[in-house]
Amino acid sequence: MRYTIEAQGLSCRDRELQTILIGICDPQPVAALGIHSVVRGQADLAVAWSSLNLEEMRHKCAQSTPSVVLMDKAFGINNISEIIRFWSEGTGPVAAVWGNTMSETDAVRLIQAGAKGILQKSIEPESLVRCFRAVSRGQVWIEEAVFRPRPRNLPRESRYGLTPRETEVFRLVRIGLSNNEIAEELGIRPGTVKIHLKHLYEKTGLRGRFQLAMARVQEPDSLEMTA
């Protein structure tokens, strides 16, 4: 038996000026029912439709494009990223991705593909509502539980005095290159890349590649580079 949820009455085109319409792509019907229950009491949110697979989702998006589409990570990072990139190049919906688990690597890849929301299925209902509102405005929403906590006392605006080489390594980390790829790009040894990364962590107070890669996404002014 198949379960779907469809918005009643007005079409996406008619309602988009007053309501944030949400499409749901999740293999578990109960997930769509749960989200529908969460947003039902919100005047500015409504579920447009739900789908159980990516093919059905594409078909429904072609018929009526919602404001936001929430996809389950279980459909595969590569498949989801390809769809998100396609949407980012045109007039597609804003993409958010959730899953029972979400690694830092997965989160970086999805954000780099163009996803605006990254969250776990254990998210609180109130946070899910805030996420839908934020990403519909083009903001990036990453649930705190996805990545390791930031150092509490890290200044929001600081001059870290990064060297030109450290700045270049930082830039390459942000676009998703591995240590070996960075070494090849800069003509240095992978061991030297590790040293530069160690200095970046020490100077910025950030911990791990994910926090380094996401620094400007979360706080655009947090890392000000100096020559």
- Which pLDDT tens digit goes with each residue over 116-129? 999 988 888 999 99
CA separation for the pair 183, 191 (Å, rounded): 9
DSSP code per residue over 64-82: ---SEEEEEGGG-HHHHHH
- The pLDDT value recorded for residue 147 is 60
Question: Counting Cβ atoms within 10 Å, is residue 211 exposed (0-12), middle (13-18) or buried (19+)?
Answer: buried
Mark the ranges of the chain whose per-residue pLDDT is less than 50. 1-17, 149-158, 218-227
- The pLDDT value recorded for residue 157 is 33
- Domains and their CATH numbers in the chain: 12-146 (3.40.50.2300), 158-224 (1.10.10.10)
- The pLDDT value recorded for residue 220 is 42
Q: pLDDT digits over 148-194, tens only? A: 544 444 433 345 678 888 888 888 887 777 889 889 888 899 999 99
Query: Taking CA 143 as the corner, what is the angle to CA 151 and CA 196, rounded to the nearest 5 degrees?
Result: 45
- The pLDDT value recorded for residue 222 is 45
CA separation for the pair 168, 226 (Å, rounded): 11
Q: In what order do the strands lie in the sheet with 117-120?
A: 45-51, 20-25, 68-72, 94-99, 117-120, 141-142
- The pLDDT value recorded for residue 128 is 93
